[in-house]
Amino acid sequence: MTHSVKTWKLAALAAATVGASFALSEGVASAQEIVKPTAKGVVGGALIGAEAVMITEALIGVKPWWAYAVGGGVGAIGGGIGGYFIEQAVTDGKAPLFMLAGGLALVIPTLVLTLNATRYVPTEGATEDKAPTNEPKADPGTPGGSAAPTPANDPAKAPATAPATPPAAAPTPAPQGLMDVRPGTVRLGVPMPVVTPVFTVAERRQFGMRQETEVRVPVFNLTF
């Protein structure tokens, strides 16, 4: 039930994004008197065809990743052919422009829905394997006991082992972005601006530059 609610919320977000993109593209098209339809309908149709198939698969709960690859490819071919004929049937280029804008607007919602549908979900009641506890103890003098392993070399003459390498420090987590994709989860949020220095201390000493700062706004974070 929780998975279905999340899926429909993502679908609503995708629909809102498409509506906003069509409104924006309509304003751009109205501001330009002549729009050339060259390749816009083919590309837009291919994007919309692939995205329509993949969004439908995500909403009905398809899990295998190859189903999205095959369905998206077939949808892209069909949409591209349809977009070509639409280009040939119009003269002002507005319809191909709307198709291209809609296809670009659906890229991120399609990616979110696909990753959410194909993510790994552990099965209920799964347990970890435990070591067997009924094995006989290592006792060569007792019938049925296992033989104790003999050292290959004299412990006094064994070579000294190198000190263990300390574990590497955990990487610093990336700041919150507009869309964060991590193993097993996809999260949307408000980007967190970060103010960082432009030059390092070594660069300032080497080139004699004055320190400057820059503001970075993360949009898409991918962790794997």
- β-bridge partners, 196: 214
Has this prediction a pTM greater than 0.85? no
pLDDT tens digits, one per residue of 166-200: 676 666 666 777 677 777 777 776 666 777 787 88
Which residue's structure tokens are 């295998």? 64
Q: Give yes or no for residue 129 having a pLDDT over 80.
A: no
Which span out of 43-47, 202-206, 217-221 was modeled with the highest average pLDDT?
A: 43-47
Displacement of CA 67 from its chain's centroid (Å): 17
Q: Where are the domains of the chain?
A: 7-118, 179-222
Q: Do strands 179-182 and 220-222 pair parallel, antiparallel, or not at all (unpaired)?
A: parallel
223 compared with 200, residue with greater pLDDT: 200
pLDDT tens digits, one per residue of 69-78: 999 999 999 9
Q: Give yes or no for residue 2 having a pLDDT over 50.
A: no
